[in-house]
Amino acid sequence: SQKIEQNSEALNIQEGKTATLTCNYTNYSPAYLQWYRQDPGRGPVFLLLIRENEKEKRKERLKVTFDTTLKQSLFHITASQPADSATYLCAHRYSSASKIIFGSGTRLSIRP
């Protein structure tokens, strides 16, 4: 069955460093992967989408990579700031006929 996994342990990073979050999938190759940010008490907010034929996508300080060999997507925040502290969710669609499935998220804390 389709499965998407994120590191459930919180990630603590010093301000200014690059934060790297991991999203792994098994048993298939998704057509695309999305990354969302969720702040406490709020709904998720879309950040980036990367398709299976793209290796990298950037938006300001954010970068997403997609490695179909490793079955993994990496989400990077460069020059991290305390305001980047949140839970980050990855989501995917297996095929045009399937629904979007979300990972359980990784909580990121950026300390000053």
57 binds other proteins, rule: CB under 8 A: no
Q: Which amino acid does the sequence have at 29?
A: S
Among 84, 103, 108, 110, binds other proteins (CB under 8 A): 103
Which residues contact residue 15 at a Cβ distance below 8 angstroms, ignoring those fewer than 6 apart? Answer: 80, 81, 82, 110, 111, 112
29 binds other proteins, rule: CB under 8 A: no
Query: Which part of the chain contacts other proteins (CB under 8 A), choosing from 17-25, 53-61, 71-79, 101-109?
Result: 101-109
**And the tokens for 15?**
């301000």
DSSP label at 82? G
100 binds other proteins, rule: CB under 8 A: yes
Query: Which part of the chain contacts other proteins (CB under 8 A), choosing from 15-23, 67-75, 77-85, 97-105?
Result: 97-105
Pairing relationship of beta strands 106-111 and 11-14 according to DSSP bridges: parallel
Among 21, 23, 35, 44, binds other proteins (CB under 8 A): 44
